[in-house]
């Protein structure tokens, strides 16, 4: 029996890839262990969205490299976005690594594993337009009520700050039949939630020569699968949210009324510099259209503080946007220059670190206020939730659940267990979560 340990950094796409890697390895006699010290094969699935994420990967490799010195039998592998982006740098900084494989090369693992078992060092990083052939191998999903299905991979947008188009390649959609089959299997296995994944999930199908293959139609098809479950989709690119998508979300009872639509900046000049294909005004219109259609919807976003050349006034537009749009939650980050990207070359416009971090602090403060305000809107309302987990507090079992609109809701109900749906009346709002009581 051979054990492997996989550490996953980065986004849900990486988490989903790790589940696929685990599944492939299981076909070759490898079992996953949670304890890295007992693993013969150590894998790190990396992210390079910001410098900090990339640094984490190298620091883990350093720890593993030391371990390999005293135990040369251990094999070390690196995959994910750092691997796809810069194999030479990895070879230089961590020459003891046995296997480097890119985001496009996961399905070559069966062959790659044989090489490292023979004591060879191997590197497989290519950029192929081939669509992932996901259904040939087992997928070992993490125990959860939710299962991820990647439906489109890659990105054609080239936002000037972002490394993803370089690490994930161009957009490639999976065939609807393949996705529907995977979804059916997931529901048969007892999962209660499906999350459709894509760097730009609402670009789904654009690379096929068929107008009918869209995210909206895919949702309609998935909604027909029998069973008590719900469907989510992330991440939406603002200007790719069509009226038909909004209609589909409305029509489909299993689809959650929740949108994650990163705005990145509240200022149109900065959006243009970022090569985002919408203005502040257009983003406002999309939010208003969605809010008027779905009363209990939550809209979440991402923002970057301190993009090269961003003035104080332009930054204030971002703070105002969070407030005016009543955004329900936002992921925030200070701008981090990335290799290969256009903004990464705007060195003369880079802002000092202290300015970026001071803006990030204000952004976080504004986000916190907006979250509390958003949560307070829900007190007194009844939300449908799915129990994800349970915790014990002062001898009481608290159920940790998530509403359709992605809000975290805690409540007590002895008749419910993990994986059950419930209706909960919200009694109290805090910044990051809601509390409630079950209702019939």
Six token digits for residue 221:
């098809």
Burial of 240 from C-beta contacts in 10 A (0-12 / 13-18 / 19+):
buried
Figure out which of the listed residues 157, 265, 301, 406 binds ligand SF4, where binding follows CB under 6 A: 157
Q: How far is the CB of 262 from ligand SF4 (least distance, A)?
A: 7
212 three-state secondary structure: coil
What is the number of other CB atoms lying within 10 angstroms of the CB of residue 124? 19
23 vs 169, beta carbon nearer ligand SF4: 169
Lookup: tokens for 179: 């996705």
Residues in the chain: 440
Binding mask 143-172 for ligand F3S (x = CB under 6 A): --------------------xx--xx----
User: At closest approach, how far in Å is the CB of 158 from ligand SF4?
Assistant: 6
Q: Which is closer to ligand F3S, CB of 30 or CB of 166?
A: 166
Could you tell me which residues come within 8 angstroms of residue 418 by beta carbon, excluding any fewer than 6 positions away?
145, 387, 388, 389, 390
Q: Which of 20, 50, 60, 402 binds ligand SAH (CB under 6 A)?
A: 50
Residues 219-238 that bind ligand SF4 (CB under 6 A): 237
The position carrying tokens 């940790």 is 400
- Integer angstrom CA distances of residue 247 from 23, 109, 216, 244: 36, 41, 8, 5
Tokens for 228, please give them. Answer: 């008590």
Helix (H) or strand (E) holding 329: strand 329-334
Per CB under 6 A, the list member of 13, 82, 112, 164 interacting with ligand SF4 is 164
3-state DSSP assignment of residue 364: helix
Q: Which residues contact 238 (CB under 8 A, 6 or more apart)?
A: 261, 262, 263, 276, 278, 282, 283, 286
Query: Binding segment for ligand SAH among 17-25, 157-165, 181-189, 416-424 (CB under 6 A)?
Result: 157-165
- Does residue 165 belong to the site contacting ligand SF4 (CB under 6 A)? yes
Question: Minimum distance from CB of 10 to ligand F3S (Å)?
Answer: 3
Please choose which of ligand SF4, ligand F3S, ligand SAH, none residue 165 contacts, taking the beta carbon within 5 to 8 angstroms, the exact cut-off set by kind. Answer: ligand SF4
Q: Which residues, numbered 24-83, are part of the site for ligand F3S (CB under 6 A)?
A: 47-49, 80-81
Interacting residues with ligand SAH between 300 and 339 (CB under 6 A): 302, 304, 333, 335-336, 338
Going by C-alpha positions, the residue among 286, 215, 224 that lies closest to residue 244 is: 215
CB-nearer residue toward ligand SF4: 5 or 303: 303
How far CA 229 is from CA of 188, 232, 405, in Å, comes to 11, 10, 14
Q: How far is the CB of 350 from ligand SAH (least distance, A)?
A: 12
Total residues contacting ligand SAH by CB under 6 A comes to: 17
Q: Which residues of this chain interact with ligand SF4, rule CB under 6 A?
A: 155, 157-159, 162, 164-165, 199-200, 237
Q: Which residues of this chain interact with ligand F3S, rule CB under 6 A?
A: 10-11, 13-14, 47-49, 80-81, 163-164, 167-168
Q: Which residues of this chain interact with ligand SAH, rule CB under 6 A?
A: 49-50, 161-162, 164, 199-200, 235, 237, 262, 264, 302, 304, 333, 335-336, 338
């Amino acid at each position: 029996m051979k054990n492997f340990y996989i550490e996953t950094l980065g986004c849900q796409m990486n988490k989903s890839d790790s589940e696929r890697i685990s599944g492939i390895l299981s076909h070759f006699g490898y079992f996953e262990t949670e304890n890295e010290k007992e693993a013969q094969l150590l894998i790190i699935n990396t992210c390079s969205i910001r410098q900090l994420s990339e640094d984490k990967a190298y620091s883990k490799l350093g720890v593993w490299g030391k371990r390999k010195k005293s135990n040369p039998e251990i094999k070390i592998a690196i995959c994910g976005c750092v691997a796809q982006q810069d194999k030479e740098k990895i070879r230089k900084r961590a020459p003891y690594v046995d296997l480097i494989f890119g985001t496009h090369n996961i399905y070559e693992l069966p062959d790659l594993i044989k090489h490292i078992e023979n004591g060879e060092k191997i590197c497989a990083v290519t950029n192929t337009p081939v669509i992932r052939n996901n259904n040939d191998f087992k997928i070992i999903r993490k125990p959860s009520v939710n299962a991820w299905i990647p439906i489109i991979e890659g990105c054609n947008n080239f936002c000037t700050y972002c490394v993803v188009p370089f690490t994930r390649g161009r957009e490639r959609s999976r065939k609807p039949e393949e996705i529907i089959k995977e979804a059916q299997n997931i529901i048969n296995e007892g999962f209660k939630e499906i999350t459709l994944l894509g760097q730009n999930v609402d670009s789904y199908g654009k690379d096929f020569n068929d107008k009918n293959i869209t995210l909206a139609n895919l949702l309609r098809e998935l909604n027909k699968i029998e069973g008590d479950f719900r469907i989510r989709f992330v991440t939406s690119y603002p200007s790719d949210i069509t009226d038909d998508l909004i209609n589909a979300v409305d029509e489909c009872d299993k689809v959650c009324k929740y949108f994650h639509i990163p705005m990145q900046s509240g200022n149109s000049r900065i959006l243009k510099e970022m090569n985002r294909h919408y203005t502040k005004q257009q983003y406002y219109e999309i939010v208003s259209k969605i809010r008027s259609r779905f009363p209990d919807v939550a809209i979440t976003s991402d923002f970057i503080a301190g993009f090269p050349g961003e003035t104080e006034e332009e930054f204030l537009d971002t703070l105002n946007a969070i407030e005016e749009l009543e955004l329900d939650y936002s992921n925030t980050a200070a701008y981090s220059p990335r290799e290969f990207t256009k903004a990464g070359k705007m060195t003369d416009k880079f802002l000092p670190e202290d300015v970026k971090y001071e803006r990030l602090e204000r952004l976080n403060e504004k986000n916190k206020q907006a979250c509390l305000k958003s949560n307070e809107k829900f007190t007194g309302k009844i939300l449908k939730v799915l129990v994800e987990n349970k915790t014990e507090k002062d001898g009481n079992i608290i159920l940790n659940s998530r509403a359709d609109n992605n809000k975290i809701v805690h409540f007590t109900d002895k008749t419910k267990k993990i994986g059950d749906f419930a209706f909960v009346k919200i009694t109290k709002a805090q910044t990051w979560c809601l509390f409630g009581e079950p209702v019939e």
